[in-house]
Chains A and B, each alone.
Chain A
C-alpha cells in the first residue's frame, strides 16, 4: 500500500521509509506541513503518517484541511507530547490514530496496517470467519468447527477485534486501547494473560492453532502456522 510520511526529522523519516519499504509498502516522504498537505491532497494514499509538530504548518491543521477538502486517507498522528488530552485533540482534528514518541516500529507498522484495512470493503460484515472459527456479531456467538464456544463479554470483544483485523498483527497497546478503552501503561503483561485465556478457549483441542503470538510485536489471528 502507499504511505505518506510527513515528518521533519530526516533521520527518523529515512528510517521509517526504509522499514515500511521492507515491510512491503511504498512510502513517500514530505519534510514539512505545506508540501505534505500538497502531496496528500494530490495523491490517493492508503495511510498518512503525520508528525504533530512540523515546520511551516503543524500536523493537526494539515489533517483538518485535508478532511475539509474531502480527503479521507486514514491518518496516524505521531507526537512527542504525551499529555493526557493530546490524544483527544488529535483525534478531534480528524486523525484516526495516535502514537506517542518514542514508539516501537512494530507498533507503528501494526497500526498503519490496521488503519489501511478500514478503507477496504467488508467493514460492516456481521460474521467474521477465520478457517473454521466463526464469530457472529449480531447473535454474539462463536463457533469453532460448528461447536459453540462460550466467551465472557470482554473475551468476545477481544476476539472480535482480532478477527476484524485477521491476518494483521495487533499490538498489546492497541488491544488495551480498542478493547478496554484505556490508554494507560498497564505495567505488567495483563493483555498477555487475557489473550492466553482466549487462546485456551478457541485453540485448545484443535490441531491447527489460529491465534498466534508475534514476537516483539503482538498477536495475529490467521489460518495457518507462522
Chain B
C-alpha cells in the first residue's frame, strides 16, 4: 500500500471526511435557506411595489380617464430603471408602455403572472443605437419590430387589469434582479463546496499524516522491543495530548516489563550461581562418601549432610518461587482486613525467646487499630524475615547490649512498621542493592541465609501497595515497612 493509501485508510482521515460531509450538508442547507428566503422576500417586494403603483395609476385613471393613464404610463416607462408597463386597446394595439413582446394571450387573462417578456428600448438607447447605425426607428416602432419569438430575454411579475372600454393595463416589475441573486447564490454554493472539499482533503491529509507519524513512532518502538531491545520508549511530543497520555502509559508499562525482564534474567543468573553451587557441593559430598572407606558412620554422616543441604536448597527454591509469585501478582491469596499490629505481635512473640537466649534486648511497641488489607501468611513471613534479620545482625557494641526495637504506628492513611537493630547497618550505597535477589553483602557472607529475605519483604510490600525503606538507625539498620491503611477498618 502506498503512503497516500495508508493516509486515506487512517481513522483521522475517515473522521475528517465524515465531518466534511456533515458540514457540507449543513452549509448547503444554510445557503439554500438564505436563497429561498431572499427570493420570497424579493417576490413580496415586487408585488408590493406593483400594488402601490397600481393604486397610484388607479387614482390617475379616476381623475383623467384613459388619456391621463396613458400619459402617466408614457412618462413612467421612459424613466431609467422603470417598471414594466403596457396599455392596449381591445384589438391589442399598444397605446403606451415599454414592452415589445409578450407571450400570446397573457393580456386576456387578468391577474398576477410571472412571465417572460421583451422590453422595448428607452429613448436614450434608441438614440445611441441610432448614432451607431446612422439610421433607425422612432418611438412609433415599438412593439412592432417584427420579432415573434417564443423566448424573450427578460422575466417579470406582472398584473393585468381589464379597464372599461376594453382597454388593458399591465403593470409589472422586472425580476432580473431576483434571477441575479439566484445566480449569485448558486455560484456561492458551488464555490464554497469546492473550497470546502479542497480544505477538507488537505486538512485531513495533514491531520492524518501527523496522527500517522505519531502512530508510526509507537509502532517503531514496539517493533524495536519485539526485536529484543527493551530500552526503547515512545517519544512524547510534550503537548499532553491523547497521544502523549497513551505514550506515557505505554512507557510505564514498558518500564514495568523491563524491570520484570531484568528481574528474570537476574534470577536465572542467580539460580545458576546460588543453586548450582550447593548442588555441586551436594554431589561432591556423595561422591566423596562413595570414594571413602565404606563404613556405616561415614555413610550416615554423608547422608545426613546431604539431607540438610537439600533442605536448604528446597528452602531457597521455595523462597524464590514465593517472590516470583508475589511479584507477578499471580498468587491470588486471600486478602482480608487484619490488624498489622496483631500479626506483628504474634511474630515478635515467636522470636522473643530467640532474642532472650541470644542476650538481645527486645522491645515491641504497637499502636492499636492498624488495619491493613493483607494476606496474613505473606505479612507474617515478611515480619518474620525482618525480625530474623535484625536478630542476626544485632551485636553488642562497647558497653551497649545488642538490641532489636520493633514498633508499629499509624500515620494518617499509612501503617508504619519499624524494625531496628544496633548492628553494623548497611552503607547507604548498598541499601537499594540488598533488596535484590540473592544479594548478600560481603560482611554477611559468613552468616547463614539465602540472600532472599529482604527481596521477599520488598515483594510482599509491593504486593500490598506499600514500600520498604532501609534507614540508618545510628548505629544499625532500621527497616521501615510502609503499608496502606485499610479504609474504614475498625481494627478488630
List A residues at the B interface (Cβ < 8 Å).
82-85, 88, 100, 102, 104, 154, 176, 180, 182-188, 190, 193-194, 197, 216
Contact = CB atoms under 8 A, between A and B. Distances in A.
Contacts of B333: 83-85
Nearest to A154: B349
Nearest to B322: A82
Nearest to B304: A216
23 contacts: A82-B321, A85-B331, A102-B314, A104-B311, A182-B376, A182-B380, A184-B381, A184-B384, A185-B315, A185-B318, A185-B381, A186-B350, A186-B388, A187-B385, A187-B388, A188-B388, A188-B391, A190-B354, A193-B353, A194-B350, A194-B353, A197-B353, A216-B307
B332 interface: yes
A91 B320 CA distance: 25
Contact of B377 (A84, A104, A187, A190): A84
A216 B311 CA distance: 11
Nearest to A194: B353
B346 interface: yes
B319 interface: yes
A185 B319 contact: yes
B350 A190 contact: yes
Contacts of A176: 350
A204 to B, nearest CB: 16
Nearest to B310: A102
B375 A84 contact: yes
Q: Which secondary structure characterizes the binding site on chain B?
A: helix
B451 interface: no
Which 5 pairs across A and B sit closest by C-beta, in order of nearness? A84-B333, A184-B381, A193-B353, A85-B333, A187-B388
Nearest to B389: A187
Nearest to A183: B377
Given A84-B375, A190-B353, A197-B353, 8 more contacts: A82-B318, A84-B325, A102-B314, A182-B376, A185-B381, A185-B384, A190-B351, A193-B357
Task: Choose among B318, B350, B375 the residue with the greatest number of A CB atoms under 10 Å from its CB.
Answer: B350
B453 interface: yes
A180 B347 CA distance: 9
Interface string B337-371: 00000000011011101100100000000000000
B378 interface: yes
A182 B377 contact: yes
A149 to B, nearest CB: 17
Contacts of B351: 190
Contacts of A180: 346, 350
Interface in B373-427: 375-378, 380-381, 384-385, 388, 391
A190 B355 CA distance: 10
B272 interface: no
Contacts of A187: 384-385, 388, 449, 453
B334 interface: yes
Contact of A84 (B311, B378, B391): B378
A193 B354 contact: yes
B475 to A, nearest CB: 23
Contacts of A184: 377, 380-381, 384
B465 to A, nearest CB: 17
A104 B308 CA distance: 11
A24 B314 CA distance: 29
Contacts of B378: 84
Nearest to A176: B350
B440 to A, nearest CB: 14
A82 B317 CA distance: 11
Given A104-B311, A184-B384, A186-B384, A85 B353 contact: no
A185 B312 CA distance: 11
Task: Choose among A100, A104, A186, A197 the residue with the greatest number of B CB atoms under 10 Å from its CB.
Answer: A186
A100 B468 CA distance: 29
A37 B449 CA distance: 43
B376 to A, nearest CB: 8
A85 B334 contact: yes
B335 to A, nearest CB: 10
Nearest to B388: A187
A180 B351 CA distance: 12
A82 B334 CA distance: 14
Contacts of B346: 180, 182
Nearest to B351: A190
B350 to A, nearest CB: 5
Task: Choose among A84, A176, A188 the residue with the greatest number of B CB atoms under 10 Å from its CB.
Answer: A84
A64 B139 CA distance: 122
B223 to A, nearest CB: 36
Contacts of B349: 154
A180 B307 CA distance: 26
Contacts of A190: 350-351, 353-354
Contact of A85 (B319, B332, B357): B332
Nearest to A197: B353
Contacts of A194: 350, 353
Contacts of A102: 314
B279 to A, nearest CB: 14
Nearest to A181: B346
B438 to A, nearest CB: 16
A104 B321 CA distance: 19
A19 B347 CA distance: 35
A150 to B, nearest CB: 16
Contacts of B357: 193
A80 B315 CA distance: 14
A88 B346 CA distance: 20
A218 to B, nearest CB: 14
A194 B384 CA distance: 15
A85 B377 CA distance: 9
Contacts of A83: 325, 331, 333
Nearest to B358: A193
Nearest to A191: B350
A214 to B, nearest CB: 14
Contacts of B354: 188, 190, 193
Contacts of A183: 377
Nearest to A186: B384
A84 B357 CA distance: 31
A176 B350 CA distance: 9
B444 to A, nearest CB: 14
A88 B353 contact: no
